[in-house]
Amino acid sequence: MGLRASEGVVVTAVLGVDQSLRGTGLALYADGETVTALVRADLGEGVVGIRQAVRYIVGRVVTFAPACDLYVLELPIQTPGKGSGLQLERAWLFGMLFDQLMPRGKVATVHPMTRAVYATGNGRAPKADVIAAMRKAHPHVDVRDDNVADALALMGMGCRWLGSPVDGEISSKQAKAMR
């Protein structure tokens, strides 16, 4: 049985995805429970290796949560001065995930700083602070690393946006992030 959203919709599944070829964090709220997973891909040589890793991760995400009320993806960050390969990987994975998830449910995107504000109240929060905040907000959930912690924050934002918060009372900073 799902939670009732403010619009009268029954929320049965929301997936938060913190995508990365080195460690994609997944947090799924489904039928009253939250489960997490971490997907790692072997990154082979060059563009072919990136393609194989992207396809592997997208396949695992779709298998983990084939149909949701809402998928929440973190937008890839633009890192000035860093290699173009890393930005290519991020954009490619984001685009493929977005493309594959859209036919399965609604897709929302969240800027990394907005996700950090929602998680901790600080848009530049260190990874350890996000992990600690998510462990506190979800004490019975396996938060094994920062990828999963980020995915939990995204999932929490999605559930709250649908009118079915799963992570406690909202702070003023979280309310600002939700706007």
pLDDT in tens, the chain (179 residues): 344 444 555 678 999 999 998 899 999 999 899 999 999 998 888 899 999 999 999 999 999 999 999 999 999 987 666 555 578 888 999 999 999 999 999 999 999 999 999 999 999 999 999 999 999 999 999 999 999 999 999 999 999 999 999 998 999 999 999 98
- Whether the model clears a pTM of 0.75, i.e. scores above it, the answer is yes
11 forms beta bridges with: 3
16 and 107 in contact (C-beta within 8 Å)? no
30 forms beta bridges with: 13, 33
- CA dihedral (122, 111, 29, 93) in degrees, to 10, reads -130
Rounded Cα–Cα distance for residues 6 and 117 (Å): 23
Rounded Cα–Cα distance for residues 5 and 65 (Å): 20
Rg, the chain, Cα only: 16
177 and 114 in contact (C-beta within 8 Å)? yes
Count the neighbouring beta carbons within 10 Å of the beta carbon of residue 137.
17
